[in-house]
Amino acid sequence: MISLLETESFNNLESILDTISTDGAVSIRVLTEGGRASLLEEAKGYRFDSRTAGLRNTEFSVLDGNLHRRSLFLVLRDQFELMLNDKLSKLPEYPFSTRLHFDSTRLQRYAEGSPGISRHIDGVMYRNLICIFVIDGYGRFFICDDNGRKSKEVDTTPGNAIIIREMGFKGYNDHQNHYVRDIQTERYVFILGQSDPLIHKRSAAL
């Protein structure tokens, strides 16, 4: 099987976690070039539906249906989670309120010239981390405060993962606002998240 991850990028995990804590997010080279190319090839074979998100009517597309059963994106999810949990187990202090487990996946496409997504959080149900794998394309990504101020740009080089803190990370009890703009080429990203089981159960019961 093709190697998807640049695991050595996480050798200094404590420093990475400190950056996420102070800055709200970090961008790290995660995907091998061969792995990124294979993921892009698979992504281009899917159908996508238009969606809107954020505080204004902004457009992107999400996968229409489910990932293939043997999808490389599911392999990426499992390999990334296994690698992170292995390295987390060696830390003197566990940084999350619950064990890290990615149970939410989303493959998104932005058309060339799309306005992106205005300021938003990814959902109140998410905990610990949101991981955004940049598969291909150019767009600018920013984190900011709840009022859209104090914006910081985060590297969106294809092959990188943007890792954003969520509630439950090192005692934080809020969600990190962020936005995307200046989509200059067709752009694909793959997003991993972890939902709070209690909130998920309450939502399902409504």
CATH classification at residue 97 = 2.60.120.620
Burial of 3 (0-12, 13-18, 19+ CB in 10 A): exposed
Query: Domain of 44?
Result: 7-205
- Residue 2 maps to a domain: no
pLDDT tens digits, residue range 19-69? 999 999 999 999 999 999 999 999 999 988 876 655 444 556 777 568 998
- Residue 1 maps to a domain: no
pLDDT at 202: 37
Q: Are 4 and 72 in contact (CB under 8 A)?
A: yes
Helix (H) or strand (E) holding 39: helix 33-43
pLDDT at 59: 55
Furthest-apart CA pair in the chain: how many Å?
46
Amino acid at 125: M
pLDDT at 40: 98
- Residue 119 maps to a domain: yes
C-alpha 105/C-alpha 118 separation (Å) is: 21
Q: Can you tell me the mean pLDDT for 174-184?
A: 84
- Residue 65 maps to a domain: yes
- Residue 139 maps to a domain: yes
If one counts the domains in the chain, the total is: 1
**pLDDT band at residue 203, thresholds of 50, 70 and 90?**
very low
pLDDT at 200: 46
pLDDT tens digits, residue range 81-130? 999 999 999 999 999 988 999 999 999 999 888 888 876 666 557 789 99
pLDDT tens digits, residue range 123-177? 557 789 999 999 999 999 998 876 667 789 999 999 999 999 988 888 777 777 8
pLDDT at 10: 94
Specify which residues 136 forms β-bridges with.
188
Sign of CA dihedral 153, 7, 67, 89: negative
